[in-house]
Structure 1
């Protein structure tokens, strides 16, 4: 068991390790309270962008489903007539400029997943929504809106605790872990108390979305259905081809491959969430968990392996040239995630956006026409 998996187990219960760390939970809670007071009294400044901001985030540490939620959100907003942009801190990027980066059709050629972060690159490849990337999301938003004045709404990937940026809507995503043992880091999973008040500028409680088979906390929320899409070759995925809509979900050649010749690689916060559905599809493979946001440099599977299955988050770090040079004998496959929030979630979100537009009178907070 990896160190991160062991620590996650401690955070799910109030055992000896968690109890030993409880004083740090109390300290974290006190620091968070002081920080919120500092923003409320103006000692720390919250800045607001001229278009609505939807923040998608976690109360807990580790991946709970933010990126799939952002992808689904951008698609939905477009279908409703909005022109969304995306903000991100670009977590995991290496050697990047400290200045805000705009990722769009004009800059794509000079950037890659290493420079902007794997999640940003994945969001861009899926949606082609212009992105602003910076540790201070307000700066990213300013630069992005200057480059793309047509944007009339922003989706912030993560940033629930980034109170320097005002927001109008918050979406909190939980997975099967729920709130863990209910304590704050480092004694538990929580980044902030489960019942935290909305962030600056947000007048209504967050929308809660469960990326799980059933609600994992006592908070009222909505469900999302998730499943692995049919596997496709890395080459087809890289070219932008959608997963096959007909035929088997798993190619027969993979069902007949032994674990020594079929590896599954997952550089995500919870690798078992990738390995488990692959097993349910009937695959027999060698699991290869990697640290979250791992650069896959060098490639973690031997050059003798015939087939490798990757998450999309890992697939964006590769290139045709790199695969041809380093693993010419390996066929790489991609297992995309099919993520669908329920209809009630979209209705609740649209009601809040309609309310914002009514408040703004079609101006100021919203630039441009109301969604159709």
Structure 2
């Protein structure tokens, strides 16, 4: 296990409380606060030209919160309602160069990043990647003129990208100790939650307990954020080498008594391992790797188990290894109140109308 994988759980655990280490790092978090405030001031002063309706799905917490399944769910919901979405992303871990990179369909993770490749494969939508997401959006609109709504995978803090709807995804860590990095886990102050449109609470992966109904929580005086609970539910397993698919219940029944190895290079690998244990599977080996690990060599060579399970995010980087022992666990987001997606569309329709009016001026 690499040092980063070893330290990450400790760091996140430390950030859950206001201890001595957090207090010592507090002055550095004040620098973070000043940087965030400066970026917000620049964003307010920058001219905002009408563009396609844009949704940003992100988080204010360091580390994975389950954002990508929400992006996929939003895209599929929009497609079902007749929209033509496109996605912009940073392309984390990939050298993009000066110009944005665009594509559609089966996109190599080495060129687009693991999350954009997964989103493209799961939804079929066009994707544009670049560290400057506004440039990615411009390239997306130019190269795919049928796109009429843009979804940003992450980028909540990338204020140069204008947006019309903001969705924050949280997990069981909540806001941790409530402090900014490095004294705490927050990328920006918790007051950001006063401004967003939707807050999705990613609960435990197990389906043994029902999700609570979504509730409206007043985070500020002027507006309310719609709060919805979410659970990531496995739907099917796919063999990495043969592409054979089995319904999740069927796959679990087949391998319930087989000791297996689980490999994950995601923000919160423990959540994936817990999903497997909750299903009654015998996880003999848990191999947690750094988030977005490139997998330049096979991570399975040192594993002796007959069955290895990985996430869909990691699968886009592992098909070339052609290891018949490897199965991919595909999940989907289950919401306590799916009607929030109807409210999302209503917001987009209002934005589309306002943008159209602005273009007439």
User: 1:337, CA displacement in angstroms?
Assistant: 1.4
Equivalent position of 1:70 in the other structure: 71
Helix, strand or coil at the partner of 1:343: coil
**Contact (CA 8 Å) 2:91, 2:131: kept in 1 or not?**
yes
1:90-239 equivalent positions in 2, closer than 5 A:
90-93=91-94, 95-105=95-105, 108=106, 111-196=107-192, 205-212=196-203, 221-235=227-241, 237=243
Matched, 1:89 2:87: no
Structure whose residues are more often strand by fraction: 2
**Contact (CA 8 Å) 1:85, 1:151: kept in 2 or not?**
yes
Aligned equivalents of 1:230 and 1:144: distance in 2?
31
Structure 2: give runs of 5+ residues left out of the alignment: 205-211, 220-224
**Contact (CA 8 Å) 1:48, 1:165: kept in 2 or not?**
no
User: Residues 22 and 83 from structure 1, CA distance in 2 versus in 1: closer, same or farther, beyond 3 angstroms?
Assistant: same
Equivalent position of 1:322 in the other structure: 321
Aligned equivalents of 2:161 and 2:49: distance in 1?
6
Aligned equivalents of 1:362 and 1:48: distance in 2?
12
Matched, 1:331 2:325: yes
Aligned equivalents of 2:49 and 2:152: distance in 1?
13
User: Residues 169 and 236 from structure 1, CA distance in 2 versus in 1: closer, same or farther, beyond 3 angstroms?
Assistant: farther
The number of aligned residues is 338
Aligned equivalents of 1:322 and 1:363: distance in 2?
52
User: Residues 99 and 360 from structure 1, CA distance in 2 versus in 1: closer, same or farther, beyond 3 angstroms?
Assistant: closer
Equivalent position of 1:265 in the other structure: 263
1:39-78 equivalent positions in 2, closer than 5 A:
39-40=43-44, 42=45, 45=46, 48=49, 50-78=51-79
User: 1:68, CA displacement in angstroms?
Assistant: 0.5
Helix, strand or coil at the partner of 2:51: coil
Matched, 1:287 2:281: no
Equivalent position of 2:23 in the other structure: 19
User: 1:351, CA displacement in angstroms?
Assistant: 2.4
User: Residues 274 and 49 from structure 1, CA distance in 2 versus in 1: closer, same or farther, beyond 3 angstroms?
Assistant: farther
Q: TM-score normalized by structure 2?
A: 0.86
Aligned equivalents of 1:32 and 1:223: distance in 2?
28
Aligned equivalents of 2:272 and 2:158: distance in 1?
29
User: 1:296, CA displacement in angstroms?
Assistant: 2.3
Equivalent position of 1:278 in the other structure: 276
Aligned equivalents of 2:287 and 2:298: distance in 1?
11
The one of 347, 355, 364 equivalent to 2:350 is 355
Structure 1: give runs of 5+ residues left out of the alignment: 199-203, 366-372
User: Residues 112 and 49 from structure 1, CA distance in 2 versus in 1: closer, same or farther, beyond 3 angstroms?
Assistant: farther
Equivalent position of 2:40 in the other structure: 36
User: 1:210, CA displacement in angstroms?
Assistant: 1.1
User: 1:265, CA displacement in angstroms?
Assistant: 0.1
Cα distance per residue 1:42-98 (max 9 Å; x no partner): 3xx4654621110111011111111111100110111111111000011122x4433
The one of 2, 5, 15 equivalent to 2:6 is 2
Aligned equivalents of 1:251 and 1:231: distance in 2?
12
Q: TM-score normalized by structure 1?
A: 0.83
**Hey, which bits of structure 1, 4+ residues long, moved more than 6 A?**
none
CA RMSD of aligned residues (A): 2.6
Aligned equivalents of 1:218 and 1:13: distance in 2?
25
User: Residues 275 and 223 from structure 1, CA distance in 2 versus in 1: closer, same or farther, beyond 3 angstroms?
Assistant: same
User: Residues 46 and 101 from structure 1, CA distance in 2 versus in 1: closer, same or farther, beyond 3 angstroms?
Assistant: farther
**Contact (CA 8 Å) 1:230, 1:335: kept in 2 or not?**
yes
User: Residues 209 and 69 from structure 1, CA distance in 2 versus in 1: closer, same or farther, beyond 3 angstroms?
Assistant: same
